[in-house]
Amino acid sequence: MGKSSSASAAGSKKRKSKSGALTLGEVKTLGEELLSSRAHLNHAPTLLALLSPSAPLDLALEALISLQSFFVPLLPSIPSASADVAGVDADPELVFRSWLRKRFDELVAALVELALSPRSDEAIRDLALDALMDFVKSGKDGRFQSAIYHKFLHNLIHATDSIDPLLELLGPKYFKYADVCYFTYTSLDKIASSVGNKSTGSEKSGLHSGDDGSEDRSTIYVRNIYNTLAHIPTLDLQESKFDMWSTVGLSSKGKKNSSEDCSATYINKKLKSKFSKAWISFLKLPLPLDVYKEGLRDFLTRSYDIGGVISVMALSGLFILMTQHGLEYPKFYDKLYALLTPAVFMAKHRGVFLQLLDACLKSSYLPAYLAAAFTKRLSRLTLSVPPAGAIIIIALIHNLLRRHPSINFLVHWENGANDSEPSNESSQRKKVGADPFNNEECDPTKSGAMRSSLWEIDTLRHHYSPAVSRFVASLKNDLTVRAKTTEMRITDFSSGSYATVFRDEVRRRIKQVPLAFYRTTPICLFQESDFPGWSFRDQLKNKSETSVEGNGISTVYTSDSSPAKKLRLET
C-alpha cells in the first residue's frame, strides 16, 4: 500500500512539472489522442491536473472539453461505486471500469471546485457547470444522476465563499426544468436535516442577528440553503406538460417510469411534496434574523403573486411590512388591482381584505390614474356583486372620491368637455353608450379609467335592493368639500351578507305604509297599457267555444254568441 501511494505521489509530481510546460497545442494533442484509443488512457490524469482555478484559462478550458467528450459516452458503463480490483486473475475490463470510476470521481470533484471557487474565471465556471449538468442527465437509460447532483449541491451549501455567482448561472439555465427542481428539493431536504442535527444547543435556541461579523459555519450553511431555495422559480403546477432535463424525468432508480408516473398529475403531486419537505426542513433550522425577515418577505410576496384567496391572506402581512418596516414591492398595486373580482366579495376573509384595501388606498400621494382605476373597477363590480357587496363598494368609492378630489370628474363628465383640440372635437368626443374603460385589462395604467365615468353608480338608484338604492344617495353630496363630509368606516359594512341586509330591512321602521287602492275592482292582473301590443282578457270556462281566425287575429265566440275574454296577441 505504501509503495503504491509513493508511486502515485511521484506520478502526480511528474504530471505537475510537465503540465507547467505544456502549451495549448500540446493539450489539444493529448485530448485528441485520449479520444482516439485506449492506449492513451494515461493522458486523462495529465488533463485532470489542468482543471484548477489557478491553471491558465485556455489550457483549463481545452482540458475540460476533452475530458467531457471522453467520459460522456462511457458514463452509462461506469460502475456506481469504485471497487478495489487486484490480483493477477482480475478481469481487465473490470480493472478498466474501476479505473474509470476513480478518474471520473476526480473529474467531478475538479468541476465542483471550478464552479464554486471565487478564483475561477466566469467562462470556466459556466463551462464546468454545464459539464456537471451534462453528466447528471447522461446516466444509464437516460436517468437523472441524483448522486452526482447531490454531491454538487452538498458542496454548494457547505461553501464558505459567496455562491451568488453560481446561483445566477444555475437558476435561469436549469431550475426551469421540473426534474432539476424535484431533485434540488430532495437534496436540500437531506442537507437541511443534516445541518440541523449538527447544530449545537445554543445555535438552536433562537434567532441570530449576525451583526458582530462572527458567523459560525452552520449560519453560513443556513444562508446558502435559503439562497438556493429562493432562486428556484415558482413552477406553474397547472401545466399539462413539464419540461425535463433528463430523458426519464423524476426517476433516478432502476425502475422505469410508467405512463401514469409521467403524467402531469403525478409530477404535480411529487413536486408539491418535495417542495413542502425542503422548506419545512429549512424552517426548522436556527435562522439568522436577516434570513428570517427575508424568508418572510419572500414567502408573502410569492403568496401574494399566486392570486385568489391566498393573495388576500398574504396582503395583511405585506401591508405591515410595507408600512411599518419599509418593504419595497413595486408591483403591489398592480397585484391589488387584479384581486378585485366578484369572487373576493364572497370569500371567507373578505372583511379583512376590504379593510386593508381601504387602508392601502388612503395615501394622498396615490397617483390620480391609480385612484381612478380602482374607483372605476369597483364601480363596475357593483353590477355583479350581491347587495352587501354593492353597499361596501359605495362606501369605498365615497372614501376615494373624498380623498382624491382630482378624480371627481368621474362623477359628471359631459361630452366634449375635456377636448383639448377643437378641430378634432368630433373624434375626441366620447360616443354615447361607449365606455373606454377596459375591465379585462390587469394593468391599471392601460385600463382607460381616466376617460370613463361612474355610470354604474347611477344604475344603483334603481337597484332591486332598497338598502342599496337608499345608500347610493350618499354620493350625491359634494365630496370635494371635506369639512362638510366624513369618511365612512369600512368595518361597519365589511361583514355584510344577504342575511344582514334582509335582517336590517325587516327591522327598519317604515313611516309611510303603501296601500293598494283601486277606483274600480280589477278584473285582470295586468292592464293592456302596461304591455303595448298585448291584450289580456279572461277566458270563460265550461262553455262551448268556436274560434274564428282572420287577418292574424284570433277571436273566440261562446255558445251565447258573445266574444269570450281570452289572452291573445294582436299582430
Q: Which residue stretches of 158-288 are H helix?
A: 164-174, 178-198, 201-204, 217-231, 264-283
Kindly indicate the confidence band of residue 48, based on its pLDDT and cuts at 50, 70 and 90.
very high
Q: What local confidence, expressed as pLDDT, does residue 192 receive?
A: 93
Q: What local confidence, expressed as pLDDT, does residue 153 receive?
A: 95
When mean pLDDT is compared across 62-76, 446-460, 553-567, the lowest value belongs to 553-567
Residue among 279, 269, 183, 191 at smallest CA distance from 229: 279
Q: What local confidence, expressed as pLDDT, does residue 293 receive?
A: 80
Q: What local confidence, expressed as pLDDT, does residue 477 receive?
A: 73
Q: Choose between 381 and 14: higher pLDDT.
A: 381
Residue among 126, 128, 132 at smallest CA distance from 147: 132
Q: How many residues does the chain have?
A: 571
Long-range contacts of 293-296 (CB under 8 A, 24+ apart): 293/325, 294/226, 294/230, 295/226, 296/321
With contact defined as beta carbons under 8 Å apart, do 473 and 361 qualify?
A: no
**Rounded Cα–Cα distance for residues 137 and 142 (Å):** 6
pLDDT over 70 percentage in the chain: 75
Q: What local confidence, expressed as pLDDT, does residue 191 receive?
A: 94
Q: What local confidence, expressed as pLDDT, does residue 253 receive?
A: 57
Q: What local confidence, expressed as pLDDT, does residue 85 receive?
A: 57
| Neighbour tally for 109: CB within 10 Å | 14
Q: What is the DSSP string of 95-108?
A: HHHHHHHHHHHHHH
96-153 confidence digits (pLDDT tens): 888 889 999 999 999 999 999 999 999 999 999 999 999 998 877 778 888 999 999 9
Cell numbers for 515: 296601500
Residue among 500, 496, 505, 502 at smallest CA distance from 346: 496
Predicted confidence (pLDDT) at residue 544 exceeds the cutoff of 50: no
Q: What local confidence, expressed as pLDDT, does residue 344 receive?
A: 85
Predicted confidence (pLDDT) at residue 558 exceeds the cutoff of 80: no
**Non-local CB neighbours of 274 within 8 Å, separated by 6+ positions:** 182, 185, 186, 189
For residues 205, 208, 212, 216, the Cα torsion angle rounded to the nearest 10 degrees is 70
With contact defined as beta carbons under 8 Å apart, do 95 and 84 qualify?
A: no
Kindly indicate the confidence band of residue 550, based on its pLDDT and cuts at 50, 70 and 90.
very low
Residue among 359, 339, 203, 402 at smallest CA distance from 284: 203
**pTM of the shown model:** 0.60
Q: What local confidence, expressed as pLDDT, does residue 188 receive?
A: 94
Q: What local confidence, expressed as pLDDT, does residue 352 receive?
A: 83
